[in-house]
């Protein structure tokens, strides 16, 4: 793959822009044999992308054929490219992640499902359409665990109703929690395998309670890292992706 083409696939702009970055001396490649960074001025240089590390304008990147990203979503942000009242989560990501091309169009990574503006925690983003579908489809039964802070004390009767299933106003079929564990008098961990509009809030309302705080901290076997502060992101590793397979 030519260097300018690699930069294009990684979201650094159209090919002409990527070629200009190289020709202006803004791109460096890591030479593992020499254990040093080397400036490259030939945008048509053929490179091997396996294990590739490179710098653009002094910022280091690693090559990713497809992007899989974990974001610790802060409160007061919307999972939309065109937010209505709050900042978009996409403003928390660097431009290359927002500009990764997909099927000839500049689309960038997309949120895997959505969290309400006041909901915090684990949010996945990707430019892999099959991955997004697999993580979002209720048929795949990928579990999502929410730490729910309630206005009123949680009792055993409410928890059992959540497990047995409650009817929401737009769906006659009962919606069940896959698991429900009390953490404190007003706090529980609720596990779901499907996602409906305001589902957790509506389920708690159906059993006579009210959600005061909502934080997603686990998907499948993947737990939100404690050292990832609200608003921060990181690439998902192969180990992370393995933890997101159905059944984990």
Model confidence pLDDT, tens digit, residues 53-98:
999 999 999 999 999 999 999 999 999 988 888 999 999 999 999 9
Q: Domain count for the chain, please give it.
A: 3
Are 51 and 102 within one domain? no
Are 173 and 149 within one domain? yes
Q: What is the number of other CB atoms lying within 10 angstroms of the CB of residue 184? A: 10
Q: Among residues 42, 48, 116, 240, which one is catalytic?
A: 116
Short-list 163, 171, 121, 170, CA closest to 146 = 121
Are 230 and 121 within one domain? yes
Distance of alpha carbon 205 from alpha carbon 161, whole angstroms: 12
Are 203 and 157 within one domain? yes
Give yes or no for residue 246 having a pLDDT over 90. Answer: no
Place of tokens 């109703």: 161
Looking at residue 248, what is its pLDDT?
Answer: 56
Report the CATH number that the domain containing residue 33 is assigned in CATH: 3.10.290.10
208 belongs to a structural domain: yes
Report the CATH number that the domain containing residue 213 is assigned in CATH: 3.30.70.1560
Distance of alpha carbon 205 from alpha carbon 198, whole angstroms: 11
Are 228 and 133 within one domain? yes
Are 185 and 235 within one domain? no
Short-list 108, 132, 152, CA closest to 195 = 132
204 belongs to a structural domain: yes
The 8 Å CB, 24+ separation contacts for 41-48 are 42/3, 43/2, 43/3, 43/4, 43/18, 43/19, 44/2, 44/3, 44/4, 45/2, 45/3, 46/1, 46/2, 46/3, 47/1, 47/2, 47/3, 47/6
Looking at residue 164, what is its pLDDT?
Answer: 95
Give yes or no for residue 5 having a pLDDT over 90. Answer: yes
Short-list 89, 73, 69, CA closest to 81 = 89
Report the CATH number that the domain containing residue 114 is assigned in CATH: 3.30.70.580
Model confidence pLDDT, tens digit, residues 150-203:
999 999 999 999 999 999 887 778 999 999 999 999 999 999 998 888 899 999
Model confidence pLDDT, tens digit, residues 106-153:
689 999 989 999 999 999 999 999 999 889 887 777 899 999 999 999
Are 11 and 58 within one domain? yes
Are 128 and 227 within one domain? yes
User: Sorting pLDDT into bands at 50, 70 and 90, what band is 104?
Assistant: low
Short-list 49, 42, 51, CA closest to 21 = 42
Residue at a domain's end among 19, 43, 62: 62
Distance of alpha carbon 67 from alpha carbon 185, whole angstroms: 40
Are 154 and 207 within one domain? yes
Range of the domain at 187: 143-219
SS3 207: coil
Phi-psi domain of 236 (left: phi exceeds 0; alpha: psi -120 through 50; beta: other): beta
Are 187 and 75 within one domain? no
204, 153 Cβ separation under 8 angstroms: no
162 belongs to a structural domain: yes
Range of lowest pLDDT (2-16, 47-61, 183-197, 204-218): 183-197
Structure letter (DSSP) for residue 90: G
- Whole-model pTM: value is 0.93
Are 10 and 49 within one domain? yes
Mean pLDDT score, 33-50: 96
Phi/psi at 100 (nearest 5 deg)?
A: -60, 130
Are 130 and 237 within one domain? yes
248 belongs to a structural domain: no
Distance of alpha carbon 116 from alpha carbon 118, whole angstroms: 5
**Residue 118 annotated to the active site:** no
Mean pLDDT score, 218-225: 96
CA 96 to chain centre: 15
């Amino acid at each position: 793959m030519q260097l300018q083409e690699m930069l294009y696939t990684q979201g650094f702009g159209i090919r002409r822009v990527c070629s200009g970055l190289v020709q202006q001396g803004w791109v460096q490649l890591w030479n593992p044999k020499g254990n040093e960074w080397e400036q490259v001025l030939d945008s048509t240089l053929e490179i091997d992308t396996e294990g590739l590390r490179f710098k653009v304008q002094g910022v280091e990147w690693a090559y990713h054929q497809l992007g899989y990203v974990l974001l610790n979503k802060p409160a007061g942000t919307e999972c939309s490219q065109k937010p209505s009242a709050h900042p978009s989560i996409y403003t928390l990501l660097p431009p290359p992640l927002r500009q990764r091309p997909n099927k000839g169009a500049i689309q960038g990574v997309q949120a895997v499902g959505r969290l309400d503006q006041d909901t915090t925690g684990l949010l996945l983003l990707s430019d892999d359409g099959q991955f997004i579908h697999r993580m979002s489809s209720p048929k795949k039964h990928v579990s999502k665990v929410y730490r729910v802070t309630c206005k009123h004390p949680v009792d055993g009767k409410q928890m059992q109703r959540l497990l047995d299933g409650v009817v929401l106003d737009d769906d006659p079929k009962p919606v069940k929690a896959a698991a429900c564990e009390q953490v404190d008098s007003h706090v529980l961990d609720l596990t779901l395998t499907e996602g409906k509009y305001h589902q957790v809030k509506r389920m708690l309302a159906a059993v006579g309670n009210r959600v005061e705080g909502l934080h997603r901290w686990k998907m499948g076997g993947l737990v939100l890292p404690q050292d990832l502060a609200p608003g921060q992101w990181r690439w998902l590793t192969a180990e992370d992706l393995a933890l997101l397979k159905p059944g984990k």
